[in-house]
């Protein structure tokens, strides 16, 4: 496993604690390492591989208090103090990891502060106290130590976007429960330090986590999978019906209106042609309104993922999506991107050859680019004119979509074969 800087810091503090345990009581070195490895390896297994980045951190945060028991039970003031300081330092990398999950920079900095304040307070109180003691006044450092990772976890949960909070999404709830467990576990591990060292509470907590996974996390994940499956079925049914209606309008009324416009133009009836053209535009707008709910809710990137998954079985080969979209462009641009991709993919499946690659990118400035490439024979230079003459308006519709949002559309044949469709849009 590749170590990041915060992983290395957690391991470094754990090594210092291990050296201290080895000099004080080797049995705590053995148990600390065993429990730390068990928790580190087990955490991704318990809560999913998306949490594997936290494996080192949670393992060290749990192991360090166990390793520091020989220091903390010493009658030497400096050793006792370091027996509290090292577990506090060991929880900081985990707290930083939890806080980094907040996307908004200002809020994230506040979460960093929420971890550093109790850590600094605990260290200051430990050294101010000056030596071993278990009176009521000495309980505060332990409380502050337990808050180092817990406060950022609570902060991330509270500052989650209101839309996600109100949706009741099972995966969102599962992530919050996991964050809560992640933030609380170091504090539970530190309960081994006060008074006579006892692993009972820590052992009970680890058992609770395993039971929690079995009776809470797994059912939530099953609900998530079932919800996603039902959503996919619903979206598919809606899209099939909308596609049927749109196809009927496109293949019948819209094509007849387009042909009528051309005939009226040829006959010199400018007024009649303009009326027919207006009716065609209104009909095209109605077709545009027959859009995916997924496109409205999650954006063009998610809609393209759905589209690629839908088209791949019909392509007879691989259809790839390369997606980089940290932000969403305006809704009209997303609609145009999706419709152009839909038409380009349909053409690639019908006339091209897999593998087909779709690339969608939105950079920090809002610049949107879409490209669709296949390995077929490639489009002929006069293909657009011949398609229009034959009444196939797919290419014309793509061009109109691009013009509607002020984007550039480029359709060409690669020298080595294959068709390349590109849509580029820049914000004003």
pLDDT digits (tens, 9 = 90+) for 185-195: 998 988 888 76
Thinking of the domain 292-428, which architecture would CATH place it in? 2-Layer Sandwich (3.30)
pLDDT at 87 over 60: yes
Which residue has tokens 């503090």?
A: 13
Nearest to 10 by CA among 48, 51, 62: 62
pLDDT at 386 over 80: no
pLDDT digits (tens, 9 = 90+) for 325-352: 888 988 878 888 988 898 888 888 888 8
Q: Which of 344-348, 351-355, 375-379, 416-420 has the lowest mean pLDDT?
A: 375-379
What's the average model confidence in pLDDT over 285-302? 73
Residue 411: predicted pLDDT: 85
Residue 370: predicted pLDDT: 93
pLDDT at 360 over 90: yes
pLDDT digits (tens, 9 = 90+) for 109-144: 888 898 899 988 888 888 777 665 543 346 788 888
pLDDT digits (tens, 9 = 90+) for 91-108: 999 999 988 887 677 888
Interatomic CA distance for residues 375 and 340, integer angstroms: 19
Interatomic CA distance for residues 292 and 303, integer angstroms: 8
In the chain, where the domains are located: 5-198, 292-428
What does the H/E/C string look like for the chain? CCCCHHHHHHHHHHHHHHHHHHHHCHHHHHHHHHHHHHHHHHHHHHHCHHHHHHHHHHHHHHHHHHHCHHHHCCCCHHHHHHHHHHHHHHHHHHHHHHHCCCCCHHHHHHHHHHHHHHHHHHHHHHHHHCCCCCCHHHHHHHHHHHHHHHHHHHHHHHCCCHHHHHHCCHHHHHHHHHHHHHHHHHHHHHHHCCCCCCCHHHHHHHHHHHHHHHHHHHHHHHHHHHHHHHHHHHHHHHHHHHHHHHHHHHHHHHHHHHHHHHHHHHHCCHHHHHHHHHHHHHHHHHHHHCCCHHHHHHCHHHHHHHHHHHHHHHHCCCEEEEEEECCCCCHHHHHHHHHHHHHHHHHHHHHCCCCEEEEEEECCCCCEEEEEECCCCCCCCCHHHHHHHCCCCHHHHHHHHHHHHCCEEEEEECCCCCEEEEEEECCC
What's the average model confidence in pLDDT over 52-72? 88
CA dihedral (291, 293, 299, 301) positive or negative? negative
């Amino acid at each position: 496993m590749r170590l990041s800087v915060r992983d290395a810091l957690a391991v470094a503090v754990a090594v210092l604690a291990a050296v201290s345990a080895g000099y004080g009581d080797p049995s705590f070195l053995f148990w600390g390492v065993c429990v730390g490895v068990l928790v580190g390896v087990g955490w991704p297994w318990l809560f999913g591989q998306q949490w594997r980045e936290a494996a080192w951190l949670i393992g060290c945060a749990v192991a360090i208090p166990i390793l520091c028991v020989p220091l903390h039970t010493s009658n030497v003031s400096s050793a006792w103090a370091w027996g509290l300081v090292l577990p506090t330092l060991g929880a900081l990398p985990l707290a930083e990891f939890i806080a980094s999950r907040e996307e908004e920079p200002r809020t994230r900095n506040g979460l960093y502060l929420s971890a550093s304040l109790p850590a600094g307070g605990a260290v200051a109180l430990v050294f101010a106290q000056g030596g071993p003691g278990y009176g009521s006044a000495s309980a505060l450092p332990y409380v502050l130590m337990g808050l180092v990772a817990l406060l950022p976890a609570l902060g991330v949960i509270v500052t989650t976007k209101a839309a996600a909070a109100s949706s009741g999404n099972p995966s969102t709830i599962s992530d919050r429960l996991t964050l809560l467990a992640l933030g609380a576990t170091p504090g539970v591990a530190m309960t081994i330090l006060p008074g006579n060292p006892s692993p009972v509470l820590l052992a009970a907590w680890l058992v609770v986590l395993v039971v929690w996974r079995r009776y809470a996390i797994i059912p939530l994940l099953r609900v998530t999978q079932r919800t996603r499956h039902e959503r996919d079925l619903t979206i598919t049914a809606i899209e099939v019906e909308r596609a049927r209606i749109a196809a009927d309008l496109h293949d019948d009324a819209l094509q007849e209106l387009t042909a009528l416009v051309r005939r009226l133009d040829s006959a010199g009836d400018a007024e009649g042609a303009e009326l027919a053209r207006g009716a065609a535009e209104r009909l095209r707008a109605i077709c545009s309104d027959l859009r995916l709910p997924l496109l409205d809710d999650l954006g063009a990137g998610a809609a393209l993922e759905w589209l690629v998954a839908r088209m791949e079985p019909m392509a007879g080969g691989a259809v790839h999506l390369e997606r980089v979209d940290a932000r969403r462009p305006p809704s009209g641009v997303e609609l145009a991107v999706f419709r152009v991709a839909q038409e380009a993919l349909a053409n690639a499946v019908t006339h091209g050859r897999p593998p087909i690659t779709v690339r969608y990118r939105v950079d920090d400035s809002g610049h949107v680019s879409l490209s669709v490439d296949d390995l077929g024979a490639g489009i002929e230079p006069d293909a657009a004119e011949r398609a229009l003459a034959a009444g196939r308006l797919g290419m014309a519709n793509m061009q109109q979509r691009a013009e509607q949002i002020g984007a550039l559309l480029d359709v060409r044949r690669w020298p080595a074969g294959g068709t390349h469709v590109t849509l580029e849009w820049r914000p004003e």
